[in-house]
Amino acid sequence: MTDTLRESDSGLSGKVAIVTGGGAAGDGIGNGRAAAILLARAGTRVLVVDRDSGLAQRTVDMITAEGGTASGWAADVTDEKQCEAMVEKAVALYGRLDFLDNNVGIGSRGSVVEETPANWRRLMQVNVETMFLAAKHAIPAMIRTAGGGAIVNVSSISALRPRGLTAYTTSKGAVIALTRAMAVDHGPDGIRVNCVAPGPVYTPMVYAPGMSHAARDQRRRASVLGREGTGWDVGHAVRFLLSDHARYITGQTLVVDGGTTLVGPSRESQPQH
């Protein structure tokens, strides 16, 4: 490899990625859908995974309409057998596996006093265990079929700045710790592992339950840039970290929040991404 990379030498073309949580409501652009589309635009073949096959297929349709290559796959990634089958499907379709974007997550509010044990366990299962299970089966396939690869786990700025979302904050903090541990464990295998921590980006996960114009504007103003973030901002960060432009970066957390974490937290005014 030369000392410098041209813009076109991202190392993404011809590669294969699994994007979990790759669907989104309607034509909305969530973090996973954005990453899948951006990877496909760079020439990566993408297996779009979502619990809802229809949402995954809509992402596939958006990719193929632009001339990209993608397939949909329905899986509940809280189930190890389905994670194993997901990886097997990617390899069967495309002959290799290079990238994994671990994008599944749910939110919760409240302190340890207010939280229920059942919901606590569910947060840990969906937000942390899914990433463990997907990586557990993806890593051997990357080593075997591609001689290495790259993984991005999606965390949240809640892991860095608690604000009344204790179970969620704990789970997203665990994602950062998992990322760092995996980077150490699998660097010798040629696998880089990094993390993206989004701020209050405007995605279907956030606005589908209903959001007032005032609440949306308050989230925008939380950024020191005074600018609203979207799923595209997170998707671009994921694509960068998977690309050869990030070939010397591993075990790191890239904060994508418009500077929100630079100013004082507000417990109630900034819901999770």
- Residues annotated as catalytic (active site), given as ranges: 168
Whether the Cβ atoms of residue 130 and residue 78 lie closer than 8 Å to each other: yes
Q: Which two tokens stand for residue 104?
A: 């599944």
Compute CA 220 distance to the chain's CA centroid, rounded to the nearest angstrom.
Answer: 21
Place of tokens 């080593």: 143
Q: Which two tokens stand for residue 203?
A: 């995605």
**72: which DSSP letter?**
E
Q: Which among 162, 192, 21 is positioned nearest to 101, based on CA atoms?
A: 21
- Counted residue by residue, the chain has a size of 273
Residues 6+ apart with CB under 8 A from 185: none
Q: What are phi and psi of 24, to 5 degrees?
A: -165, 155
Strand order in the sheet with 99-102: 70-74, 45-50, 16-20, 99-102, 149-154, 191-198, 253-256
Place of tokens 């994994």: 100
Helices (H), 74-165: 80-94, 117-124, 130-146
**8: which DSSP letter?**
T
Count Cβ atoms below 10 Å from residue 75 Cβ, excluding itself.
25
Whether the Cβ atoms of residue 100 and residue 17 lie closer than 8 Å to each other: yes
